[in-house]
Amino acid sequence: MKSIREAGILKGKKVMVRVDYNVPVAGGKIVDDLRIRVSLPTIEYLRAEGARIILISHIETKDNPTLEPIAVNLATHFPVKFVKDFLGDDGEEAVMSLKDGEVVLFENLRSNTGEKANDPQFARVLASYADVYVNDAFPVSHRPHASIVGIPTLLPHYAGFQLMKEVEHLSVFFNPAHPFIFVLGGAKFETKIPLIEKFSNTADYIFVGGALVNDIFALKGYEIGKSLVSDATQNDEKVKGALKSILGDQRIILPHDVVVDGPNGKRVCDVKSVGKDEMIVDVGPASVDAFADKIKGAKFILWNGPMGLYEKGFKDQTIKFANLITGSEAQSAVGGGDTVAAIESLHVDNPHVFISSGGGAMLEFLQEETLVGIEALK
């Protein structure tokens, strides 16, 4: 990939930047603006170079999937014009009226079916507005959509600063220093088994938590009560077989105590003492304490996914892990919405900790060592 710094003279050129502003919005207010913040260095660089900037993105919210709240947020950093009907006269007029250093933001790309379908005509219309294309949307660069893989075939193309940073920081885990620790939580074991298999060859320890560990406990024959489990690990023999194959690896560390919630309230218990009416909601504090020394001695740490049902308020052990990692001297990379939320809630500035803006894209990049959006820029 070539960085936007290699694009030559940009003054007066129309530069279309694919950013990822798919951020959580509640009541018209942005809940988490990380993805907006990480896009600013690329935009400010282009403004300083005198480019005429067209920002494109998508957003998926339950109520009103519009990028208008993002336009309001961006306006606190620099003037920006929001264009709803970007495929009509409004889009053409907004782009034609741009002056050097000015910015327009087009409405939600996914309001048009051509985006997800990678429709060539949709890509051509978008490309017709610009002289140069920049991808700075790492979190969606694993999607073969028009704005990710279609437009780069039609315009000179470059990577933005955040995309370059993501690749740089995550690529080091393909050949890490040791001890190397991989912490994996969240759900959907079928999507994460390949990562466990891959990093079991290089990681010194893999700590598994979150809903993922429920699948392992069920496979071991433990009572898990009403705990969340993946359909695939229950019904897919291929996934079940892959899961069984990794259980004998001594480097895979499972919690020995858990937090459960049930008719009698919340309690901490041994993994073999879960009641039939209880649900595992977090890994246990003793398990995290026992793993703390390994984190303190680590050189590299990779973490994706919370340790418990974070979105339901069971955050304690995820926060404890976040404290351990931000207090470590290890080179670390952290990704996944709730995991990042835990790290950011501590307001700790540790230069050794890289916060990835991608969740699924981070996992796929670590597995495949590239993404379709990256390949499109080569």
Q: What is the pLDDT of residue 178?
A: 96
**Which part of the chain has CATH 3.40.50.1260?**
4-161, 168-368
* Superfamily designation of domain 4-161: Phosphoglycerate kinase, N-terminal domain (3.40.50.1260)
Q: What is the pLDDT of residue 187?
A: 85
What is the distance of C-alpha 139 from the center of its chain? Answer: 5
The Cα 260–Cα 262 span in angstroms is: 7
Q: Which residues of the chain have pLDDT under 70?
A: 232-235
Enter the tokens of residue 158.
């470059």
Q: What is the pLDDT of residue 232?
A: 62
Instruction: Give the CATH fold of the 168-368 domain.
Output: Rossmann fold (3.40.50)
Q: What is the pLDDT of residue 198?
A: 87
Q: What is the pLDDT of residue 115?
A: 98
pTM of the model: 0.92
Residues 202 and 196: beta-carbon distance below 8 Å: no
The secondary structure element, H or E, covering residue 55 is: strand 52-56
Q: In this prediction, what percent of the chain has a pLDDT beyond 90?
A: 81
Non-local CB neighbours of 104 within 8 Å, separated by 6+ positions: 53, 54, 55, 80, 81, 82, 83, 94, 95, 98
Enter the tokens of residue 60.
């998926």
Query: What does the pLDDT look like over 18-53, one tens digit per residue?
Result: 999 999 998 888 999 999 999 999 999 999 999 999
